[in-house]
Amino acid sequence: MIKPHGSDTLNPLFVYDPAEREELLHEAENLPSLMLNSAAAGNAVMLGGGYFNPLTGYMNLADALSVAEHMKTTDGLFWPVPVLNLTNNVDGIRGHKRIALRDPNVEEHPILAVMDVEDIEEVSDAEMNLMAEKVFGTTDMEHPGVNTFMNLGRFAVSGPIQVLNFSYFQTDFPDTFRTAVEIRNEIEERGWNKVVAFQTRNPMHRAHEELCKMAMERTGADGLVIHMLLGKLKPGDIPAPVRDAAIRKMVELYFPPNSVMITGYGFDMLYAGPREAVLHAVFRQNMGATHFIIGRDHAGVGDYYGAFDAQTIFDEQVPPGALQIEIFKADHTAYSKKLHKVVMMREAPDHTKEDFILLSGTKVREMLGQGIAPPPEFSRPEVAEILMDYYKSLNK
């Protein structure tokens, strides 16, 4: 099986021993506590699940700046995006070496993790701007990722953590949320050697379905892991339970039995385009995938990134050997009226735009909102029905 990133075995930061976890929870009740923001809580969940292996906690400022600028920590570990615990107020924890981290996304704010504080550093505007520029490629506050990042706070609290629960993800998505540990174990149980991972924050239309099948066929994969983001998105995106239902219906009807795992992870979308694509590859390697599909405008938003920037970053900025996972580079896929099947557009050079069935996201949302199913060449009718029901519920 493919090795995790940066170590021989996966080292999740979740405390699996029930007695030890109980003891830590008891200790944490008497510790000074810090209310995390949603981004830092997502980082804790990812660290807990082994997705951010081999990190042991939140980065200090030197590591965060080094990662932003050079895609490696100060001691040389390849890493694409700073993993920070930023906050605006450190009055309650200053001078304390051990603190409890509270969950902002769950009622009554239970303790999410216990942290050994190694440093509390003030981050300057210039340093925040540098990180935003390097990670997002822009400091434009209209960019949703930049806007979120710049408002997280100006104090970086760094140090190792022990994670005590998985926030709302395990309770709200019991059938879908899986840690990297669980996915690795299941891949092993199924006897899969080559595994393709597919990232999604949207329902999957016919083109996505066929792209996954193409990737499996061309890589000789034994199985596919559809891995959906379960955290916060930008306004207007389709909520996770609806996406989940739509994807499950598609897999049930249109994939061979036992060829697909439907899973999800607890993290907020960064919309960081190329850098986020590399982060996605890192944690897919950690969960045991050998291949990862990256298509057009992966993890992008608006017009901030070129259509294939998330692919070229692997050739131009990821050092050879930094990752073991292989990237399956995909072009835009669409249904060809000429060939009567979904193809990658670059593989149909004799086609014009008119030869494909192409619908913009806006157009599809409009159709679904009006109770009109997109053509079956674009969206499976059973999937369209689930999405139409969702849009209908918004108009009530």
pLDDT digits over 168-220, tens only? Answer: 999 999 999 999 999 999 999 999 999 999 999 888 999 999 999 999 999 99
Over residues 86-145, the pLDDT tens digits come to: 999 999 999 999 999 999 999 999 999 999 999 999 999 999 999 999 999 999 999 999
CATH 3.40.50.300 assigned to 174-265+271-394: no
The rounded Cα 18 to chain-centroid distance in angstroms is 28
Q: Side chain identity at 385, as an amino acid letter?
A: E
Q: 349 preceded by cis ω (within 30°)?
A: no
Beta bridge partners of 102: 35, 111
Q: Do domains 18-167 and 174-265+271-394 have the same CATH topology?
A: no
Residue-level pLDDT at 41: 98
Dihedral sign computed on CA atoms, order 146, 151, 157, 161? negative
Please state whether beta strands 356-357 and 333-336 pair in parallel, antiparallel, or not at all (unpaired).
antiparallel
Give average pLDDT by consecutive 10-residue segment, the chain, 396 residues: 97 98 97 98 98 98 98 98 98 97 97 98 98 98 97 98 96 95 98 97 91 97 96 80 94 96 96 98 98 94 95 97 97 91 93 89 85 92 94 83
Residue-level pLDDT at 28: 97
Residue-level pLDDT at 332: 87
Residue-level pLDDT at 360: 78
Opening angle at CA 71, ends 66 and 72, nearest 5: 65
What whole-number distance in Å separates Cα of residue 313 and Cα of residue 378? 30
What whole-number distance in Å separates Cα of residue 291 and Cα of residue 365? 31
Residue-level pLDDT at 112: 98
**Domain boundaries of the chain, sorted by first residue:** 18-167, 174-265+271-394
Residue-level pLDDT at 240: 87
Residue-level pLDDT at 395: 79
Q: Which residues are catalytic?
A: 201-202
Q: Which of the following CATH numbers is that of domain 18-167: 3.30.450.40, 3.30.200.20, 3.10.400.10, 3.40.640.10?
A: 3.10.400.10
CA–CA distances in Å: residue 157 to residues 54, 241, 298 = 19, 33, 30
Residue-level pLDDT at 233: 73
Residue-level pLDDT at 82: 98
DSSP 293: E
Beta bridge partners of 156: 86, 121
What whole-number distance in Å separates Cα of residue 123 and Cα of residue 158? 12
Distant-in-sequence, close-in-space partners of 173: CB < 8 Å, separation ≥ 6: 230, 240, 241, 244, 264
| Full-model pTM | 0.95
Beta bridge partners of 334: 343
What whole-number distance in Å separates Cα of residue 12 and Cα of residue 49? 5
What whole-number distance in Å separates Cα of residue 105 and Cα of residue 127? 28
CA–CA distances in Å: residue 237 to residues 150, 234, 242, 276, 278 = 22, 6, 11, 18, 22
Instruction: Label residues 42-80 b or e (16+ Cβ within 10 Å = b).
Output: bbbbbbbbbbbbbbebbbbbebbbbbbeebbbeeebbbb
Residue-level pLDDT at 189: 97
